[in-house]
Structure 1
């Protein structure tokens, strides 16, 4: 039986199954928030009853890109900002696999921003975890798209003159159907949110606040934090786009004022891109990936279809 057709009903799984034997111990700096992402992802997959053969993890460049070296599953280490197009192609070819893409704030909101916007707009069925530490860490401390205005760095020695990107608002405006924020200091919430994102049918964006004690010493450790779902001070409907947008704007504004708000902010159950394409007949019901294991399958080439239309 192929790995593709082995995907079935959820079963009991252990977190240790997602720890690779070759490089089990991450080499991130002590105190780095990236450890929390790895642990939360392992816990989420185990709680969902997944096993490593059912998961594909696509990463970009940067400290976050090392994630699939420390997480046992199928993996694809892409170039800077390009984890999403690879993840999209994999999910369209094999809808049965759980696809997770990961990247840093520079990777995801900077060089990969165009892919982020259109993957959200098209609502591809995948989870996108962005390690948001407000700095370029691997390249040693340059200002990133989420660095606060006035932040001093190697590239902005007099302080950044630019307002930071508002990732939650950008995600909602682009069309993401699940938007949440969590933090390394809240491991239980992080695992719960990632599990919800994986189960969501559509593009699920998780902005994961990860402190960088080495290259962003001025940044807060994202504590204390407030879970908006547990607080009586915040009351909004996560299925109402306008209310979600207003809440996100408040959350993003308060982060740079020293108040960290985390939680689920938006959820929409509209069909994913793959579901839309299969409903119109533009994509086959049978996963394309299965054809590699079917000797009798008839392959269709786009070039041949184009030639037939123009001859």
Structure 2
């Protein structure tokens, strides 16, 4: 018996299947960029060929953490900065699931920054969406890791003395095999990037610019934007690590100068995912661990037994 019998089912999928019946109407502030993330994700899923039963959405704390309340699928609302370890465990236990993790810039680049780096380093097969609005929104407007230098907030009333984190460059340095940036004001590009991210075998990081009209009114609305993959002004190869790194540096500099660059920055299709590598060296079974819960004849293995045997 299959743990998830719906996985692999071939049928037409409608985006409205991803709208929950209990709480279909999001309660984000009017004009919030988070609406754009939800819309793009709902549009992308049918294109990827996934149903709600084949999808797990793990979220952190913050305005972005409400995403799985408005998205019909399996969901896990984790504690602050901890969506990635939960998502990693789920993907390793059941590789057939489409696993998406989501969090804000404070959740993902601050409190969960350590998990972000090591999930990228290990190249876990999942998509990680970071709602980047350059502010802590849910806790009422404190400076976040991506707030620009000089930004005034409740925690930095005289202006932040720190340079903002460079999320794209950090992702590449850490080892992510797919890196992109899009914006809530560009829903068509956002959908296409999410499709490509979910179809990628490995860790796909999407830095999603989401305006916050309530707590970050000084921030730009991320318009006009330029798609670097279509623009004649920016010619680079996203499969070339050095060229991607230079393009990321340019993008991160220009954002705070008023020029919004978006697109796919890096793509490595050759590198195996963490799960693939573990199965190749025999440290993970070919049969998903999740299947064993439904096998009445399975004789359970315990990790401590393996260690005890080595010391006998």
TM norm structure 1: 0.99
Offset at residue 300 of structure 1 (A): 1.1
- Note closer, same or farther for the CA distance 1:115–1:80 as it changes in structure 2 (3 Å cut): same
- Note closer, same or farther for the CA distance 1:127–1:248 as it changes in structure 2 (3 Å cut): same
Q: Deviations over 1:175-208 (max 9, x none)?
A: 0000000000000000000011000000000000
Offset at residue 6 of structure 1 (A): 2.6
Contact persistence 2:3–2:293 (CA under 8 A): no
Equivalences for residues 155-194 of structure 1 within 5 A: 155-194=155-194
Provide the C-alpha distance between the structure 1 equivalents of 2:244 and 2:237, rounded to a whole number of angstroms. Answer: 7
Provide the C-alpha distance between the structure 2 equivalents of 1:16 and 1:152, rounded to a whole number of angstroms. Answer: 41
The equivalent residue for 2:278 is 277
Contact persistence 2:3–2:291 (CA under 8 A): no
Provide the C-alpha distance between the structure 2 equivalents of 1:11 and 1:106, rounded to a whole number of angstroms. Answer: 38
Provide the C-alpha distance between the structure 1 equivalents of 2:52 and 2:3, rounded to a whole number of angstroms. Answer: 10
The equivalent residue for 1:58 is 58
Provide the C-alpha distance between the structure 1 equivalents of 2:266 and 2:230, rounded to a whole number of angstroms. Answer: 16
Equivalences for residues 113-152 of structure 1 within 5 A: 113-152=113-152
280-289 vs 46-55, which moves further? 46-55
Q: Deviations over 1:33-62 (max 9, x none)?
A: 000000100100012221100000000000
SS at match of 1:207: strand
SS at match of 1:128: strand
Contact persistence 1:84–1:115 (CA under 8 A): yes
Provide the C-alpha distance between the structure 1 equivalents of 2:304 and 2:56, rounded to a whole number of angstroms. Answer: 29
Offset at residue 5 of structure 1 (A): 3.5
2:217 corresponds to 1:222: no
Equivalences for residues 72-151 of structure 1 within 5 A: 72-151=72-151
194-203 vs 300-309, which moves further? 300-309
Q: What is the number of residues matched between the two proteins?
A: 311
Contact persistence 1:3–1:53 (CA under 8 A): no
The equivalent residue for 1:31 is 31
SS at match of 2:79: coil
C-alpha RMSD over aligned residues = 0.9
The equivalent residue for 1:300 is 301
Contact persistence 2:3–2:294 (CA under 8 A): no
Provide the C-alpha distance between the structure 2 equivalents of 1:97 and 1:10, rounded to a whole number of angstroms. Answer: 15
Provide the C-alpha distance between the structure 2 equivalents of 1:141 and 1:163, rounded to a whole number of angstroms. Answer: 18
44-53 vs 262-271, which moves further? 44-53
SS at match of 1:164: coil
Contact persistence 1:127–1:203 (CA under 8 A): yes
Q: Deviations over 1:73-129 (max 9, x none)?
A: 000000000000000000000000000000000000000000000000000000000
Gaps of 5+ in 2: none
Q: Which runs of 4+ in 1 moved over 4 A?
A: none
Provide the C-alpha distance between the structure 1 equivalents of 2:21 and 2:126, rounded to a whole number of angstroms. Answer: 26
Q: Deviations over 1:222-269 (max 9, x none)?
A: 000000011000010101000000000000000000000000000002
Contact persistence 1:10–1:48 (CA under 8 A): no
SS at match of 2:308: helix
Gaps of 5+ in 1: none
The equivalent residue for 1:246 is 246
Offset at residue 310 of structure 1 (A): 1.4
Offset at residue 299 of structure 1 (A): 1.4
SS at match of 2:207: strand
